[in-house]
Amino acid sequence: MPEIILKNVTKRWGDFFGVKDLTMTIEDRAFITLLGPSGCGKTTTLRMIAGLETPTSGFISIDGVPVFDSERGINIPPQKRDIGFLFQNYALWPHMTVYKNISFGLENLHWKKPEIEARVDELCKMLKIEQFKQRYPSELSGGQQQRVAIARTLAPKPKVLFMDEPLSNLDAKLRLEMRTELKRLHIDTDSTFVYVTHDQLEAMTLATKICLMETGVMQQYDPPLITYSRPNNLFVADFVGNPTMNFLDAHAEQIGPRKVKLDIYGLQAVLECDEDISVPDADGINVVVGIRPEFIDVNEQGKGIEGKVYSTLPSGMETTVKIEYAGQLLTSVEFGGVDFKVNQPIHFSFRGKDILLFDKQSKNRIGVGELKI
């Protein structure tokens, strides 16, 4: 299976940059998600790698073979890149049975009939659609149609499988089931998957690495847990995670190579970082403290900082609590069957060694550590 390399890839329409100077390596057998809000350039990036969109400049190679090079005038058409592309709307032939939909491409590639039958049987078994081979797409559910589309895409054994928001038309329960199937399929096929989504939960659960983009620029390219716990900047921190991270403006004063004194809305605290940091000198607000909801513990025993319950959203396994403090709203996630009353006085505290510190001006992460009150 191939490695995919992009170097300084740019797509521009006039003065507008769809993708700007993108450099990344997609490792062999990886499951990469291109993640970001609408218009960030993720689908354009996918289409450029697949050959469905021509970059303005840059270099792309698949399995060591240059498929696009603006300097040398190379632009290999998509049908010669040995890739599969799974579209959002399935694109199944309505007048063909499941068997014919899957075998159609193989017939065009002049595979022999026994080879076609063996490949279709193999894929139908892998995707659990053996009983539907003689049915038409209109006789299948959305999830079954999606499996047929995946089988058809995998039939010619492409080096890379590209997927453009393939689960967006499915209901929530079926999306969850298909995520499990796709992750298993990635292992079973031993292939390289490149997957576009705007759903950060989908990216977190499926990917071996997430490429998070904003306005055509890559913001971070790391494994999901690194992206979640060590976001490069405020955009990444805010986009990844549900409920979203708490952001508290603060004044910071460096008191040691790894220690920062903080004034957070009148609350005095010290952040003990795990590495040397450099805090910008400034009067007033100069940093933003980032705290994930699961790192705020709520209690009714009077321990910690005093606050008041603004709202609660119990969901069975966990309860999301909005806390009113110093004119700000903080979000906490409490696990287990707990609940609180609106306007109830409570106390809360911060825990863990993953409290983040961002430069207010540049918005980049400058430190991470334990917050001590």
Domain check: are 215 and 258 in the same one?
Answer: no
Mark the ranges of the chain whose per-residue pLDDT is less than 70.
1
Count of structural domains within the chain: 2
| CA pseudo-torsion sign 15, 16, 18, 20 | positive
Q: At 36, which CATH number?
A: 3.40.50.300
Domain check: are 230 and 125 in the same one?
Answer: yes
What pLDDT does residue 26 have? 97
Domain check: are 136 and 35 in the same one?
Answer: yes
What pLDDT does residue 1 have? 55
- Give the domain-ending residue among 239, 254, 284: 239
What pLDDT does residue 168 have? 81
What token pair was written down for 109? 């590639």
What pLDDT does residue 177 have? 83
* Structural domain range at position 78: 4-239
Domain check: are 62 and 22 in the same one?
Answer: yes
- Give the domain-ending residue among 201, 221, 239: 239
Domain check: are 202 and 321 in the same one?
Answer: no
111, with CB counted inside 10 A (0-12, 13-18, 19+), is middle
238, 241, 243, 247 alpha-carbon torsion, rounded to 10°? -30
Query: What are phi and psi for residue 364, nearest 5 degrees?
Result: -85, 150
What pLDDT does residue 146 have? 86
Predicted confidence (pLDDT) per residue in 308-364, tens digit = 999 999 888 889 999 999 899 999 999 877 778 999 999 999 999 999 999 999 999
Domain check: are 200 and 344 in the same one?
Answer: no
What pLDDT does residue 353 have? 92
What pLDDT does residue 166 have? 85
What pLDDT does residue 324 have? 95
Domain check: are 189 and 254 in the same one?
Answer: no
Domain check: are 276 and 201 in the same one?
Answer: no
Domain check: are 263 and 312 in the same one?
Answer: yes
Three-state SS string across the chain, please? Answer: CCCEEEEEEEEEECCEEEEEEEEEEECCCCEEEEECCCCCCHHHHHHHHHCCCCCCEEEEEECCEEEEECCCCEECCHHHCCEEEECCCCCCCCCCCHHHHHHHHHHHCCCCHHHHHHHHHHHHHHCCCHHHCCCCHHHCCHHHHHHHHHHHHHCCCCCEEEEECCCCCCCHHHHHHHHHHHHHHHHHHCCEEEEEECCHHHHHHHCCEEEEEECCEEEEEECHHHHHHCCCEHHHHHHCCCCCCEEEEEEEEEEECCEEEEEECCEEEEEEECCCCCCCCCCCCCEEEEECHHHEEEECCCCCEEEEEEEEEECCCEEEEEEEECCEEEEEEEECCCCCCCCCEEEEEECCCCEEEEECCCCEEEEEEEEEC
Domain check: are 251 and 234 in the same one?
Answer: no
What pLDDT does residue 90 have? 79
